[in-house]
Amino acid sequence: MQHTQMLSNQRLSDLPASVIKPGYARQSLKTGIVHVGVGGFHRAHQAVYTDAYMSATGDTRWGVCGVGLRENDRKMQQLLAEQDFLYTVLERKADGSASAQVIGCMTDFLLGCDDPGAVIRKMADPDTHIVSLTITEGGYNFNPSTGEFDFNNPDVQHDLANPDAPRLVFGYLARALKQRRDSGLPPFTVQSCDNIQHNGDVTRNMLLAYIRAADPDLATWVASEVAFPNAMVDRITPATTSTDIHAVQTMTGLTDQWPVTCESFHQWVIEDTFSSDRPQWEKCGVQFVADVTPYETMKIRLLNASHTVLGVLGSLAGYRTIDEAVSDPVFTDTLRVFMDSEVTPVLAPVKGIDLGVYKQTLLQRFANPNIKDSLTRICSESSSKVATFLVPTIRENVKQDGAFEISALVVAAWCYYSATHTSQSGEALEVIDALKDQLQQAGRQSGQQPLAFLHQADIFADLAQQPDFTRLFETFVSALFAGEPVSRLMQQASVPAGT
């Protein structure tokens, strides 16, 4: 790589005019938001909205202090610190063009594992109004079968014994909220930005469960004073590759060690319940609503479930990325029938959204050849994705005598994928899942007794007891293990209802 200067405050003025820069003076930033979990998604979503808001209004109270809690966040912290916490968002459009924007709203990045007290002080600072989170589903520490806070986690036991040096986010939030209450400050809002249904309610339930055990006296204040807005978040953000790093260098003339790539589309729908002040994100495209439920159900059951459909079937067929899979007409047809005949009939209408247009846009987003969204990322943690994105749709269809052919094929294909860790032509697949071993064992048993896979009730609830579903599932599992090509089964399953 040719030697170029590193992105930094000093170099901002060297950026070409084609690169969008912060429209505010970074020296005037205050830190109004502390964000835990500075991955690509936060940097391409909440941070971009916040940067746009501050650029448009000059209200610079909303700088973001990034926080990583664990040792494996150190690398990101170091990379960003070396470039004054600036980074580039590379927006890759479907027509092949791309634009670069330098985001300036990050003011600092603290590592909890180095100095937990510094993180707690930052959260308790009077300038902080929001503590936001992208900690992935696993970070919420609930037991997937019961939905209850998992007190058996050794880190929870550690945090209860060491409240000033916690390991998990709940310990930090509890300590910082206590400090605020004791010094007469209003609480911050706890804002989840994870792709989880009712993400605010989940955060509230988990935090209150922890605080009731850690500090019962604080629990009443938190329950009555702290807001946890629910939100639907959306922007496809594949993992950053060295190609992205090179592209950013060419476009900006500077080296960014950790840019983030994303599509142009973005959406954020938030319930307007905040503990105190918040950025007026509505000025830069955020939608505030009274109830986010229909938006999140639509997104999870159409976008995320379709990703799972493409990810699992595509992996068996030997595809590597989402755009590759949808370039195959068999996949596009299957996806259309899945969305139209299996998901839409059991989806409540969403005010202000034309579902036909929404689905068409999804197909275009998936087809973007510049977003190389890997099927490995899409299939990672499928055990929680299938349970929340797909199983509810199947169960409703079973109840209402609706269609579920493609869903059954996807579950059968996932069984094959879990058992073999290979595509149908034998190429190895990287399987990333907390339940990888359980899935593999159940998948292997299904080679002889197909229903074994469905007996994982933590994922499939009562589907193993639904004969209409199990019949189809068994047929597909047997066909796949007998070597029938997945694309032929997709064509069989994709005959739209009524034809």
Q: Taking CB under 6 A as the rule, does residue 203 contact ligand CS2?
A: no
Nearer to ligand CS2, 377 or 455 (CB): 377
E strand or H helix that includes residue 436: helix 436-446
Nearer to ligand CS2, 167 or 235 (CB): 235
Distance CA 200, CA 329 (A): 39
Q: Taking CB under 6 A as the rule, does residue 370 contact ligand CS2?
A: no
Distance CA 328, CA 317 (A): 11
Residue with token string 């479930």: 305
Q: Taking CB under 6 A as the rule, does residue 409 contact ligand CS2?
A: no
Size of the site for ligand CS2 (CB under 6 A): 9
Contact window for ligand CS2 (CB under 6 A) among 24-32, 77-85, 173-181, 232-240: 232-240
Pick from 92, 175, 301, 307 the residue near ligand CS2 by CB under 6 A: 307
Distance CA 102, CA 18 (A): 11
Q: Taking CB under 6 A as the rule, does residue 378 contact ligand CS2?
A: yes
Write out the E strands in 83-208.
Answer: 87-92, 98-103, 106-111, 130-133, 189-192
Reference 74, options 107, 111, 119, 37; nearest CA is 111
What would the x/- binding string for ligand CS2 be over residues 119 to 158, using CB under 6 A? ----------------------------------------
Distance CA 156, CA 166 (A): 8
Nearer to ligand CS2, 124 or 429 (CB): 429
Pick from 203, 304, 321, 368 the residue near ligand CS2 by CB under 6 A: 304
Tell me the helices (H) and strands (E) count for the chain, helix number first. 22, 11
Nearer to ligand CS2, 61 or 377 (CB): 377
Q: Taking CB under 6 A as the rule, does residue 73 contact ligand CS2?
A: no
Residue with token string 């899409």: 378
Contact window for ligand CS2 (CB under 6 A) among 209-217, 351-359, 377-385, 462-470: 377-385
Count of CB atoms within 10 A of residue 378's CB? 24
DSSP letter string over 98-157?
EEEEEE--EEEEEETTT-HHHHHHHHHSTT--EEEE--TGGGG-B-TTT--B-TTSHHHH
Reference 15, options 256, 314, 253; nearest CA is 253
Pick from 35, 43, 175, 235 the residue near ligand CS2 by CB under 6 A: 235
- Positions touching ligand CS2 (CB under 6 A) are 195, 234-236, 304, 307, 377-378, 385
